[in-house]
Amino acid sequence: MRKIAFLILALFVVVNLVAETLVIKGSNTILPIAQRWVEAFKRYYPDLVVTLEGAGSSTGIKALFNNTADIANASRFLKPSEIEQMHEQGRYFVPIVIGYDGIAVIVNKSLPIDSIDRETLKKIYTGKVSTWNQIDPSLPKKRIAVYSRNTASGTFETWESKVLEGERMAPWVQMLESTQAEIEAIKRNPYAIGYVGFGYVTDEVKVLKVEGVAPEIGTILSGEYPISRPLFVFFDLSRFENTWPESGVVARYIRFIVSPEGQKLVKEAGYVPAYSISE
């Protein structure tokens, strides 16, 4: 009996050692999409072991460099410094656009404001404007509680580029580690403002128009909404001898996420698909 038990245990260990694994790290924005992808993908490959983390685009790209991830989700493109590092190491991180997003500007539902422009947003976040009545005399004479994602976030980096235009944020801006934390903070504070990926928007907060344009599927896809951006998945081609992978778990996963089924899940998560979802 002991021998049989030992053999069963040994077989279990061997099976688990050879089981396919997929490690995905990166963007908090893409996390709701990736969760849907993984759940659906595992229905086809139930024995696959998947690790999924969403701590920011930079963490995903860093994980590719460190060989601790197979896939990096990113709500931004590679930085010049990352491209330089990639070339120095003789590597090539393949970018795949998997959808489009608009960064929604959100405030508390009780605040009597419906639209804002990028110049005003820049003034709020750089500290040139600190109370709501400085924007409009009809608004409360109350200090603006300003929230932002942290610097590991691709959403932060898009905001820095498209709104701040390289200027520094005011020191009192509260940096939060997750999009959900921003929504919760703004829901509680009647004088707060923040920004989140379009797919995270709920009816617990108010979404402002920017330059008179609301973030919607049509305006994001056309680029009319001024804080729109593509969403990416990266993988390291050098791990496949610089030849496009035609087999293996990474190849199957990439084919799945750009398929009509995978792109429908992008839409279900509240984002704009990059490819056709018609059967």
Q: What is the pLDDT of residues 178-226, one digit of tens each?
A: 889 999 999 999 999 999 999 899 999 999 999 999 999 999 999 999 9
What's the gap between Cα 196 and its chain centre? 10
Residue-wise pLDDT tens digits, 41-74:
999 999 999 999 988 999 999 999 999 999 999 9
pLDDT at 13 over 60: no
* Dist CA 197 CA 266 (whole Å): 13
User: Is the CATH number of domain 101-228 3.80.30.10?
Assistant: no
Helix, strand or coil for residue 44?
Answer: helix
Dihedral in degrees, nearest 10, Cα atoms 94, 96, 102, 107: -60
When pLDDT is averaged across residues 249-257 and rounded to a whole number, the result is 97
Question: Between 277 and 258, where is the model more confident?
Answer: 258
* Mean pLDDT (the chain, rounded): 92
Q: What pLDDT sits at residue 153?
A: 87
Residue-wise pLDDT tens digits, 120-153:
999 999 999 999 999 999 999 999 999 999 888 8
Residues of the chain with CATH 3.40.190.10: 2-100+230-273, 101-228
Query: In this structure, which topology does domain 2-100+230-273 adopt according to CATH?
Result: D-Maltodextrin-Binding Protein; domain 2 (3.40.190)
The bridge status of strand 93-107 relative to strand 228-236 is antiparallel
Q: What count of other Cβ atoms lies within 10 Å of the Cβ of residue 121?
A: 22
Q: What pLDDT sits at residue 33?
A: 97
Q: What pLDDT sits at residue 7?
A: 47
pLDDT at 169 over 90: yes
251-to-36, 37, 158, 223 alpha-carbon distances in Å? 18, 14, 29, 30
* Dist CA 55 CA 272 (whole Å): 22
